[in-house]
Amino acid sequence: MRALVLADEQDPRLREISDQYMVGDRLLVAPIVQKGQTKRLVYLPAGQWIDFWTGNRYQGQQDIVVTAELDQLPLFVRQDSLLPWADDREYVAEAPETHLTFRLFGESGQYDHYQDNGQDLAYRQGEYNRYQIEVTAEQAQVSLRHHGYRPVYSTITVETTAGSQQFAYDAATEQYVLIPAP
């Protein structure tokens, strides 16, 4: 979590806002802070923003009024962001994920994804994987940039507005290959 002012230190409005925050530099969270509130005013930093729930697009550096349902926290994604998506997990000790999904918000995006065992310091000896996922013009590419940890994701899905593309890991070449659509 990051203070909203870190999204654009030159914007004086951001210095005054204490009830919104960023998760990384791509996701803006505007929680409901008053009991019974169903709408709220949200200030968007510079840039283009996409409502996580509706897909509506907004120009930044403006205030917008959003409906805040009890089960939908107001979330906004910076345009051209690629975010990782995993299945729900009950607890950390479960078996490693075998599939991962990335969702594109916008027309193009890039994401560097890191994976290790999450249990010890073996990553210091190179026991980790680093993936690069890129989407341009609705075409995705998945690359395994560093392979030092077993297992890898057996499949990776990239979701765009044009549909999904699924990639499978080829152990012989240590590369991800696009699975043709049926």
- Do the domains 81-179 and 2-78 match in fold? yes
Measured in whole angstroms, the distance separating CA 171 from the mean position of its chain's CA atoms is: 27
Q: What is the mean pLDDT of residues 17-46?
A: 92
69-104 per-position pLDDT tens digit: 778 899 999 999 999 988 776 666 567 788 999 999
pLDDT digits 0-9 by tens, 133-158: 999 987 999 999 999 998 889 999 99
Residues comprising the chain, all counted: 182
Q: Are 91 and 116 in contact (CB under 8 A)?
A: no
The superfamily CATH assigns to domain 2-78 is Golgi alpha-mannosidase II (2.60.40.1180)
Q: How many CB atoms lie within 10 A of CB 6?
A: 12
Domain definitions of the chain by residue range = 2-78, 81-179
Cβ neighbours of residue 51 closer than 8 Å, sequence gap 6 or more: 57, 58, 66, 75, 76
Q: Tell me if 43 sits within 8 A of 28, measured CB to CB.
A: no
pLDDT at 92: 63
The fourth-level CATH superfamily of domain 81-179 is Golgi alpha-mannosidase II (2.60.40.1180)
pTM for the full predicted model: 0.87
Counts for the chain of helices (H) and strands (E), in that order: 0, 16
Give the H/E segment covering residue 156.
Answer: strand 155-160
| Confidence at residue 179, expressed as pLDDT on a 0 to 100 scale | 95
Q: Give me the half-sphere count of Cα atoms (radius 13 Å) on the Cβ side of residue 157.
A: 13
